[in-house]
Amino acid sequence: MSSSDQSGIFKLGNRTVKRLGYGAMQLAGPGVFGPPKDHAAALAVLREAVASGVNHIDTADFYGPHVTNQIIREALHPYRDDLSIVTKISVRRGADGSWIPALSRTELTQAVHDNLRNLGLEVLDVVNLRSMFDVHHPAEGSLEAPLTVLADLQRQGLVRHIGLSNVTAAQIAEGRRICEIVCVQNYYNLAHRADDSLIDDLVRQGIAYVPFFPLGGFTPLQSSTLSVVADKLGATPMQVALAWLLHRSPNILLIPGTSSVAHLRENLAAGQLTLSSQTLAELDGIA
């Protein structure tokens, strides 16, 4: 049994995926812009992930832009039948690598077609609409207009399922009045727990919660408590942080990213860690 198998499973759209997946953002160059410094290593990481049982890959055509999707296609196409590739739209990249909101009907439609072309797909498994009222944090505002566009593309058969990213509870409720929402992707980890009550609500509704920056992102998690627990378990602090997320709620799907095969294996091994109630209580205190 692989490490990804031991992480458990959860429903994502019409597929059942393993709870330890892979995020492709780090396959692009610095600042998620341009090509990777080691193209062969990027291909190797993706192939190792799938060989290890991963069947949930998170990406976006604005990573690079276009870079990660093209690498995914080169590494894995034709795709395994059980592989779910989840992408997101609502952003385009400036020539300087800046992140620019792209929420018009034309931009959203183009983004879906760009993802289809670069991934080599006829239909996208799941497309997350990312809120851009605040680039870094959820902020209130209506998503009706862009989500209606995405729902139209779903009815055209270009998108199977729709998710939301960087959103509030009110925006999720608004979204569910427009179309079925199968997942929510927000910033959440051991130290950043603003979505605790939201996660509990979503699990009751059968909606997957996919934390981005599960290990802190550009500012990796640092905690003496985390380090002490990791030492006791003979694991790394990042493995413990991932294991805590798997214990936190059964609807949490993890997409830690890396451009290293060795680091990928380390992340997947987090699925083998069992945390006692005492250990969980210690880790809960970090927040």
- pLDDT single digits (tens) 235-279: 999 999 999 999 999 999 999 999 999 999 999 999 999 999 999
The answer to whether 253 and 183 have CB atoms below 8 angstroms apart is yes
In a domain, 267, yes or no: no
> Residues near 257 by Cβ (< 8 Å), separated by ≥ 6?
22, 23, 24, 25, 26, 27
Identify the pLDDT of residue 218. Answer: 57
Q: How confident is the model at residue 3 (pLDDT cuts 50, 70, 90)?
A: low
What pLDDT score does 260 carry? 96
11-14-16-20 Cα dihedral, nearest 10 degrees: -70
**What is the predicted pLDDT for the residue at 287?**
78
pLDDT digits (tens, 9 = 90+) for 16-61: 999 999 999 999 999 999 999 999 999 999 999 999 999 999 999 9
Q: What is the pTM of this model?
A: 0.95
First vs last Cα of the chain: how many Å apart? Answer: 33
Q: How many CB atoms lie within 10 A of CB 134?
A: 11
Split into its structural domains, the chain has a count of: 1
The upper half-sphere exposure of residue 40, i.e. CA atoms within 13 Å in the direction of its Cβ, equals 0
In a domain, 239, yes or no: no
CA dist., res. 183 & res. 223, Å (int): 29
Query: What CA–CA distance (Å, rounded) separates 53 from 56?
Result: 9
Residue 34 lies in a domain: yes
What band does 224 get if pLDDT is binned at 50, 70 and 90? confident
DSSP 104: S
Is 30 in a helix, a strand, or coil? helix
What are the phi and psi torsion angles at 126 (to 5°)? Answer: -140, 135
Residue 31 lies inside a defined structural domain of this protein: yes
Among 22, 63, 188, 209, which one carries the catalytic annotation?
63
Q: Is the pLDDT of residue 194 over 60?
A: yes
In-domain check, residue 85: yes
- State the chain's maximal CA–CA distance in angstroms: 54
Span 61-71, pLDDT tens digits: 999 999 999 99
Please report, for the domain that includes residue 100, its CATH number.
3.20.20.100
Domain assignment present for residue 233? The answer is no
Does 165 map to a domain? yes
Whether 241 maps to a domain, the answer reads no
Domain that residue 165 falls in: 11-220+252-257
Q: Tell me, yes or no, if 63 is annotated catalytic.
A: yes
